[in-house]
C-alpha cells in the first residue's frame, strides 16, 4: 500500500469515526509476531476508556498477521501495511499522521492494564502543561510471567522532567522510574509543532530515548505516572535485548555529534566515562547470558568514537573486559603467572 493510499484510508477512517468523538489514536507497530499481537490488541479492546481508534501498522510481515487483525470484529480497528519501512520510519509516520488530541505508539508484544487509557487521558486533560505522559511498567517475560523486581514503585502521583532534567538523569542512570517508550501518550499539538525534530534516523535502536531528550530540548514537559498501568515484554527478539549496550554506544555517538548535546556532556564531568562503562558492562552481560557472540563484542567496541575522549584508566578497564571475553585462556595464564611470582617472593 503506497503512502497516498494509506493517508487517504486513514483520513476516511477518521471522518467516519469523528461522530464518536475519539480523542486518542493508538498506533500499534507490528512485524511477524501474530501470537503476541493478538494479546496486545485484546488488551486495547478491554480498555475501560472507549474513545479511541486503533491503527495497526504492519511492516509487511508476510504471515497471518492480517488474519489475526481481521478476527477482531471491531470498527475502531484499522489495518494498514507499509512496505518494509521499519520501526523508526513507521513511528515517524504515526507521529505525522495523528489527528486526534492525543496519540500513542504501541508495540505488538506489550500488554496494557484495563485502566491504562482512562487514567492516562484523565491526567492529560486535567494537566494541559504535560506534553507526554508515560506509565510505570512491570516487565514480563515471553510467557507473561512477571520478572521479579521489575517495578519497585506502584503508587499514586506523577514525576515530571523539563529543562534537561531527564537528559541528565538518564545520562547518569539516576532515573527513578524507567521511561518505557510504548507506554507514552503524546499531546498531538506539541509534537506537530516541531514534527521534524522527532524523526531521528541516525541514533540507532535507542532513538526512542532521544525523542524524550528532544521533547525537553524544545520546552516540553515529560510526566511519568507512578502507578503501574503497562506490561513491557522482555524477550530475545526485541531490539533492546539484541543490542543491549551497543544501542547505548550508538546513542552516545549521536549525542556527541550534536552541538547542543555535546555542550551538555562537556559540563557533566565524568559522564561519558560513566556511560561507556555501563554500556560495556551491558555488552559483557549479554555475552555471558548467551545473547551475544564474540562478533557482537567486536561490533560494540568498533562503535566507540574518538570523540568520547575518556581517560586512559577507563580505556584500560574497558578493554580489559573485552580481553577477558575474547581471550579467557590468556587472562587465566596471566593470573597464574602473577600468582607464581607472589608465591616465589614469599
> Residue 268: is it exposed, middle or buried by C-beta count within 10 angstroms (0-12/13-18/19+)?
middle
pLDDT for 176 equals 86
The CATH number assigned to the domain holding 124 equals: 3.90.550.10
Rounded-to-integer distance, Cα 166 and Cα 213, Å: 7
pLDDT for 98 equals 87
Considering the domain architecture, whether residues 267 and 179 belong to the same structural domain is answered as: no
Residue in 218, 234, 154 with CA at minimum distance from that of residue 186? 218
Residue 263 clears pLDDT 60, i.e. is over it: yes
Residue 64 clears pLDDT 80, i.e. is over it: yes
20 domain residue, yes or no: yes
Considering the domain architecture, whether residues 204 and 72 belong to the same structural domain is answered as: yes
Indicate the residue among 239, 266, 286 that finishes a domain: 239
Give 202's pLDDT tier (boundaries 50, 70, 90): low
Pairs from 267-276 (Cβ < 8 Å, separation ≥ 24): 268/168, 268/171, 268/172, 271/171, 271/172, 272/308, 272/309, 272/310, 273/310, 273/311, 273/314, 274/171, 274/172, 274/173, 275/171, 275/248, 276/249, 276/252, 276/304, 276/308, 276/310, 276/314, 276/318
43 domain residue, yes or no: yes
pLDDT for 149 equals 55
Considering the domain architecture, whether residues 145 and 279 belong to the same structural domain is answered as: no
Considering the domain architecture, whether residues 184 and 250 belong to the same structural domain is answered as: no
pLDDT for 188 equals 93
- What is the torsional sign of CA 156, 162, 165, 170? positive
pLDDT for 288 equals 72
133 domain residue, yes or no: yes
Considering the domain architecture, whether residues 142 and 156 belong to the same structural domain is answered as: yes
pLDDT for 253 equals 84
Lowest-confidence segment of 8-22, 79-93, 142-156, 302-316 by average pLDDT: 302-316
pLDDT for 130 equals 97
Considering the domain architecture, whether residues 232 and 259 belong to the same structural domain is answered as: no
Residue 69 clears pLDDT 80, i.e. is over it: yes
pLDDT for 241 equals 64
Considering the domain architecture, whether residues 223 and 87 belong to the same structural domain is answered as: yes
340 domain residue, yes or no: no
- Output 212 or 342, whichever has higher pLDDT: 212
Q: Is 187 helix (H, G, I), strand (E, B) or coil?
A: strand
Mean pLDDT of 234-258: 77
Residue 248: how many CB atoms within 10 A of its CB? 23
Considering the domain architecture, whether residues 86 and 235 belong to the same structural domain is answered as: yes
Instruction: Determine contact, residues 43/112, Cβ cutoff 8 Å.
Output: yes
Residues 6+ away with beta carbon under 8 Å from 9: 1, 78, 80
pLDDT for 342 equals 59
- Output 194 or 25, whichever has higher pLDDT: 25
Indicate the residue among 239, 271, 294 that finishes a domain: 239
Residue in 211, 205, 213, 210 with CA at minimum distance from that of residue 240? 205
pLDDT for 254 equals 86
202 domain residue, yes or no: yes
Query: What is the span of the domain harbouring residue 271?
Result: 243-333
Residue 144 clears pLDDT 90, i.e. is over it: yes
pLDDT for 83 equals 75
Rounded-to-integer distance, Cα 334 and Cα 339, Å: 9
Residue 112 clears pLDDT 90, i.e. is over it: yes
Considering the domain architecture, whether residues 192 and 269 belong to the same structural domain is answered as: no
Considering the domain architecture, whether residues 254 and 222 belong to the same structural domain is answered as: no
323 domain residue, yes or no: yes
Considering the domain architecture, whether residues 157 and 258 belong to the same structural domain is answered as: no
161 domain residue, yes or no: yes
> Residue 137: is it exposed, middle or buried by C-beta count within 10 angstroms (0-12/13-18/19+)?
buried
Residue 143 clears pLDDT 90, i.e. is over it: yes
341 domain residue, yes or no: no
Give 247's pLDDT tier (boundaries 50, 70, 90): confident
Mean pLDDT of 84-105: 82
Indicate the residue among 173, 207, 239 that finishes a domain: 239
Considering the domain architecture, whether residues 116 and 135 belong to the same structural domain is answered as: yes
pLDDT digits (tens, 9 = 90+) for 26-57: 999 998 899 999 999 999 999 999 989 899 99
DSSP letter at 136 equals: E
pTM of the model: 0.84
Count of domains forming the chain: 2
Q: At what angle do helices 328-345 and 312-326 cross, to 10 degrees?
A: 110
Which runs of consecutive H residues, i.e. helices, occur in 175-293?
188-193, 207-217, 239-242, 246-257, 259-267, 271-288
- Output 337 or 82, whichever has higher pLDDT: 82
Residue 193 clears pLDDT 70, i.e. is over it: yes
Amino acid at each position: 500500500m503506497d503512502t497516498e493510499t494509506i493517508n487517504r484510508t486513514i483520513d476516511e477512517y477518521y471522518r467516519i469515526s469523528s461522530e464518536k468523538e475519539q480523542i486518542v489514536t493508538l498506533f500499534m507497530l507490528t512485524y511477524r509476531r501474530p501470537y503476541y499481537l493478538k494479546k496486545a490488541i485484546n488488551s486495547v479492546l478491554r480498555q475501560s476508556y472507549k474513545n479511541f481508534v486503533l491503527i495497526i501498522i504492519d511492516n509487511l510481515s508476510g504471515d497471518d498477521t492480517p488474519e489475526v487483525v481481521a478476527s477482531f470484529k471491531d470498527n475502531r480497528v484499522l489495518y494498514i501495511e507499509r512496505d518494509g519501512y521499519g520501526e523508526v520510519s513507521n513511528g515517524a509516520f504515526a507521529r505525522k499522521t495523528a489527528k486526534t488530541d492525543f496519540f500513542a505508539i504501541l508495540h505488538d508484544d506489550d500488554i496494557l492494564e484495563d485502566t491504562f487509557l482512562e487514567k492516562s487521558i484523565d491526567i492529560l486533560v486535567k494537566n494541559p502543561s504535560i506534553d507526554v505522559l508515560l506509565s510505570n511498567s512491570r516487565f514480563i517475560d515471553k510467557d507473561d510471567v512477571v520478572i521479579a523486581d521489575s517495578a519497585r514503585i506502584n503508587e499514586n502521583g506523577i514525576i515530571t522532567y523539563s529543562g534537561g532534567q531527564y537528559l541528565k538523569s538518564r545520562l547518569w542512570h539516576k532515573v527513578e522510574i524507567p521511561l518505557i517508550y510504548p507506554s507514552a501518550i503524546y499531546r498531538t499539538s506539541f509534537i506537530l509543532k516541531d514534527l521534524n525534530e522527532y524523526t531521528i534516523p541516525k541514533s540507532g535502536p535507542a532513538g526512542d530515548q532521544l525523542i524524550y531528550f528532544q521533547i525537553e530540548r524544545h520546552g516540553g514537559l515529560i510526566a511519568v505516572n507512578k502507578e503501574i498501568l503497562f506490561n513491557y515484554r522482555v524477550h530475545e527478539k526485541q531490539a533492546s535485548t539484541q543490542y543491549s549496550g551497543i544501542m547505548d554506544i550508538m546513542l552516545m555517538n549521536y549525542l556527541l555529534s550534536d552541538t547542543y548535546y555535546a555542550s551538555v556532556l562537556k559540563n557533566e564531568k565524568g559522564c561519558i566515562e560513566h556511560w561507556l562503562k555501563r554500556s560495556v558492562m551491558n555488552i559483557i552481560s549479554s555475552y555471558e547470558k548467551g545473547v551475544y557472540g564474540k562478533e557482537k563484542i567486536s561490533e560494540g567496541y568498533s562503535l566507540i568514537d574518538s570523540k568520547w575522549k575518556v581517560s586512559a584508566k577507563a580505556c584500560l578497564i574497558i578493554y580489559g573486559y573485552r580481553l577477558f571475553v575474547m581471550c579467557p585462556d590468556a587472562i587465566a595464564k596471566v593470573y597464574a603467572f602473577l600468582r607464581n611470582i607472589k608465591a616465589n617472593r614469599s
